Amino acid sequence: MLTDLMPLGKLAGRSIVGLRWLPLTKAELGRVLMTHGIIVAPQPEAVEEGALALKRGGNAVDAAITCALVQTVVDPCMAGIAGFGTLHLYLPQRGFHGLIDFHTKAPAAARPNMWEALIEGEPRDGFGFFLRGRVNEVGYQSIMVPGSLKAYYEAVAEYGTLSWQEIMRPAIEHAEAGFVVRPHVYDFWTRRHDFGRVATLEKLKHTPAGRRIFFNDKGEILRPGDRLHNPDMARTLRRIAEGGADVFYTGELAQEMVADIQAHGGLLSLEDLRDYRTQRTQPLWTDYRGYRVASNQPPGGGIMVLEMLNILENFDLKSIGHNSPEYIRVVSEAMKYATIDKDLRIGDPDFVEVPMNVLIDKSYAIDLAEAIARGEQAHVERISVAVESRDTTHICVLDEHGNAVSMTHSLGMPSGVISEGLGIMYNGCMSVFDPRPGRVGSIAPGKKRFTAMSPTMVFKGDDLFIIIGAPGGTWITMGVLQGILNVIDFDMAMSDAVAAPRFTANSDIIDVSNRIPRFVTNELEALGYQIARSYVSYAFAGVHGIKIERGVWSGGADPGRDGMALSV
């Protein structure tokens, strides 16, 4: 395991790719010496500010947190300081490889049976429940204890090189100037939420502050090209720049937030904020075709990515052919088995015993692969199929010293709540808990919910080879998996790997993007598979990644998410 590294320095004419010095050609040397790093994310404004942090002498951590804070401003329903996530750090100069987990936690006032009498129905995939009044989806009761800001602050304090004020400055400037609404932001705001969930547009209307921030004087939602102004957020960010995370968790901001939340029947308390702690974890590991793959632990989704890779290692995917009918069948069955295990066995390890050694055991994977090879079709227990929240974003960064970051962070499904005068959207993470007591996903004080977040890194020997991750709800693990397969099995450039047509099988139905030909899916249907075709060309997560070969970096931003890769 790559968990106890020796610090590395710099040497002219050499490049740190992983743990070894590799000699470079003259052309490669010129590229490395002129480059501070590379960053990839779904928001161009945030990518640029992260790149500028590198140009100012910051490292990968500085760039990632700068980017994340700007994402809070320019994509305020996808991410925010009142959200959650997982930060995967590989810092060879410091001899460190580990993760900061900052999932939200249920408030102490939460009870397993608090919503049991409100159940009205269930989405078609059995993911969450429809409750009377939709109190779990929108409004003050949907808010869990946020972890994002504490994780950002701790990461900069422990591993960054720039000051907290320098990290905060770009987000403040963007909030003061306002930002231009991008096509993907508008699409997310106005998209009809599938399968009966509360639409984001309705959530943005939930509070007076939301109606003022996101709508024009005529009451119309701001459109692409319009400039959104949120001076309240700018003031809040300035207070955080001056007071650090403490002002949010124990100071005046905490008091203002809790006063508003509790005045409207919410559960969050000052004690919840005061007692919140991030968790530090080691990566989970597996081998895949001679590569070493590291991802996050539960309640994140890394274990699903590793399980699927273990299954698929038993198939010659390259010979089968990329996105051929047999390829889609085999990979979909691996996805289904991982989903079955997730539903039955994976949750918050503080509350649920997760059999991690079993789920990523090679012999277990062989048994599942043999069933797939026999043509068996796994069954995912579902009432029907739906889509989980895609209200998430991702960042990949690599700096000139070999430091790497992969971070997925989110609001879950936004609560729609913006406290007057503060300008920030709170998470709506209570929406995914099972309101029935006694279940793996039932509500409990202090409990974290499972998420598919899986910021992942792949090593070729001791050399860092891939940094990858994605936003996209339950599709995240499936998108990350396909990105890794595209690079390793099909030798794609990262830009091609993240843009290639994807599919997913979170149930017995195989969902395909509209760029997968019908003559391919016709063969799958002939085998008895039900196919659901997306109306969009770039579907099922928004994969972002960086590939490193002999010190030469290349990045790929999912074309469906408005983002970019930028090297400086």
pLDDT (mean) for 4-8? 29
Q: Full-prediction pTM beyond 0.85?
A: yes
pLDDT digits (tens, 9 = 90+) for 174-193: 999 999 999 989 998 998 65
State the pLDDT at residue 127: 53
pLDDT (mean) for 493-512? 96
pLDDT digits (tens, 9 = 90+) for 285-325: 999 999 999 999 999 999 999 999 999 999 999 999 999 99
Confidence check: pLDDT of 3 > 60: no
Q: Residues near 25 by Cβ (< 8 Å), separated by ≥ 6?
A: none
Using pLDDT thresholds of 50, 70 and 90, give the confidence band for residue 128: low
pLDDT digits (tens, 9 = 90+) for 340-377: 999 889 989 999 899 999 999 999 999 999 999 999 99
Q: Containing H/E element for 212?
A: helix 208-214
Q: Provide the β-strand partners of residue 252.
A: none
> Between 94 and 122, whose confidence is greater?
94
Confidence check: pLDDT of 433 > 80: yes
* CA nearest to 203, candidates 215, 195, 358, 531: 215
Using pLDDT thresholds of 50, 70 and 90, give the confidence band for residue 194: low
pLDDT digits (tens, 9 = 90+) for 278-288: 999 999 999 99
pLDDT digits (tens, 9 = 90+) for 516-553: 999 999 999 999 999 999 999 999 999 999 999 988 99
State the pLDDT at residue 193: 58
Confidence check: pLDDT of 386 > 80: no
E-state strands within 152-303 = 179-180, 227-228, 279-281, 284-288, 291-295
State the pLDDT at residue 4: 30
Give the Cα separation of 148 and 161 in Å (integer): 19
What rounded mean pLDDT belongs to the chain?
90
pLDDT (mean) for 9-13? 28
User: Do 114 and 439 meet the contact criterion of CB atoms below 8 Å apart?
Assistant: no
pLDDT digits (tens, 9 = 90+) for 67-93: 999 999 999 998 999 999 999 999 998
Burial zone of 17 (CB within 10 Å; 0-12 exposed, 13-18 middle, 19+ buried): buried
Query: For residue 163, what are its two tokens?
Result: 């000051």
Residues 320, 323, 326, 332, CA torsion sign: positive
Burial zone of 487 (CB within 10 Å; 0-12 exposed, 13-18 middle, 19+ buried): buried
pLDDT (mean) for 4-33? 33
Distances (CA, A) of 52 to 76, 162, 166, 301, 561: 21, 12, 11, 31, 21
Q: Is 392 a catalytic residue?
A: yes
Confidence check: pLDDT of 27 > 70: no
pLDDT (mean) for 233-256? 98
Amino acid identity, position 471: P
Confidence check: pLDDT of 512 > 60: yes
State the pLDDT at residue 192: 67
Burial 271-292 (b: 16+ CB within 10 A, else e): ebbeebebbebebbbbebeebb
pLDDT (mean) for 230-246? 98
Q: How many CB atoms lie within 10 A of CB 306?
A: 28
The catalytically annotated residue of 66, 392, 408, 504 is 392
Strand bridging mode 503-504 / 463-469: unpaired
State the pLDDT at residue 551: 81
Q: How many CB atoms lie within 10 A of CB 517?
A: 11
State the pLDDT at residue 436: 87
Give the Cα separation of 118 and 344 in Å (integer): 24
Domains located in the chain, CATH noted: 14-21+37-108+144-279+391-432 (no CATH), 285-384+454-557 (1.10.246.130)
Confidence check: pLDDT of 6 > 80: no
Using pLDDT thresholds of 50, 70 and 90, give the confidence band for residue 474: confident
Q: Which range is most confident: 22-31, 119-128, 293-302?
A: 293-302
Confidence check: pLDDT of 207 > 60: yes
Give the Cα separation of 307 and 145 in Å (integer): 30
Residues 553, 159, 151, 209, CA torsion sign: negative
Confidence check: pLDDT of 387 > 90: no
CA 182 and chain centroid, separation: 20
Using pLDDT thresholds of 50, 70 and 90, give the confidence band for residue 1: very low
Query: For residue 188, what are its two tokens?
Result: 């997310």
Amino acid identity, position 88: H
Using pLDDT thresholds of 50, 70 and 90, give the confidence band for residue 122: low
Using pLDDT thresholds of 50, 70 and 90, give the confidence band for residue 31: very low
Distances (CA, A) of 62 to 8, 139, 169, 284: 19, 33, 12, 25
Give the whole-number percent of the chain exceeding pLDDT 90: 78
State the pLDDT at residue 391: 59
Instruction: Name residue, tokens 């796994």.
Output: 378
State the pLDDT at residue 35: 53
Helix (H, G, I), strand (E, B) or coil at 295: strand
pLDDT (mean) for 36-48? 96
Distances (CA, A) of 44 to 47, 319, 476, 557: 5, 37, 21, 10
pLDDT (mean) for 472-494? 95
> Between 463 and 122, whose confidence is greater?
463
